[in-house]
Amino acid sequence: MTSRISSGRVHDRAGWAFLCRAIRRPHLFGSPAPSGRALAAQLARLLPDSGTPTVVELGAGTGALTRQIHERLPAGSRLLAVELDEVLARHLAAHLPGVDVRQGDAERLPALLADAGITRAEAVVTSLPWTLLPAHRRDAVLDAIAAALTPDGMATAVLTRTALPNRARELRRAFAARFAEVEAMPVVWRNLPPATVLVARRPHPAHQRTEHRPDHRSEHSRPDRRPGHRPPEPDARAS
């Protein structure tokens, strides 16, 4: 489901609105507070400051990043802010009437862009709880982002320092499977909690992406399942 959001009655304090929704739906939020100004400024500086780019923000929340992005982009640019939670989406629409706010699922990004009359975006900025997402959900969202970007497009992800190290490594590998370049920006210690921004550039064409799929061959077609076949003994020299 995706829909455009218009303003309505919402909480006046963004932080309070965010915290209330985070307590009610903790599985959808990666942090107990919106991104701080220092983190928002770092993200905004990564975006184009010339031309007329189209930028998408996924997980816009109450607009902690949206405001900085909106101020950064040059005249004639387009900013699409996507938020799954309806209460937060309405809050954002009420406080930033110049931004195109859509309530919807990040996994359906290409359809959402088509509904907004957008073919491709130059950048996708995310504030999604990446390390809380199951692997299949994470990969589906990443595929949607890669498909929505221009060939030279850029995507970002915020990783808090409270994230489990193995989840952080998995996320970076998932980005690397879909983008030609992935780098981590310096830690923003003044954020609550401290966070790192992953920046991925130049999505691979669909036929070049490295995607891990389960082996769906039948039992009889697998060499180690042939009648009478014994799998080779492991090499004792292997470490």
pLDDT digit string (tens) for the chain, length 239 residues: 445 655 444 334 444 444 444 434 444 444 444 568 899 999 999 999 899 999 999 999 888 889 999 999 999 999 999 999 888 888 889 989 889 999 999 999 999 999 999 999 999 999 898 988 999 999 999 999 999 999 999 999 999 888 889 999 999 999 999 999 999 999 999 988 899 999 999 999 874 454 444 444 433 444 444 444 454 444 444 43
pLDDT of residue 78: 96
pLDDT of residue 5: 52
Amino acid identity of residue 151, one-letter, is: P
Judge contact between 73 and 57, C-beta under 8 A.
no
Residue 35's pLDDT is: 61
The secondary structure element, H or E, covering residue 174 is helix 165-176
203 to 112, 139, 154, 211, 231: CA distances (angstroms): 19, 14, 8, 13, 39
pLDDT confidence of residue 215:
41
Which candidate, 192, 48, 61, places its Cα nearest to that of 126? Answer: 61
Question: Which pLDDT value is given to residue 3?
Answer: 53
Does the predicted model carry a pTM greater than 0.85?
no
Distances (CA, A) of 194 to 34, 61, 128, 189: 12, 18, 16, 5
| Strand runs labelled E in the chain | 2-4, 54-58, 78-83, 100-104, 121-126, 149-160, 179-184, 195-203
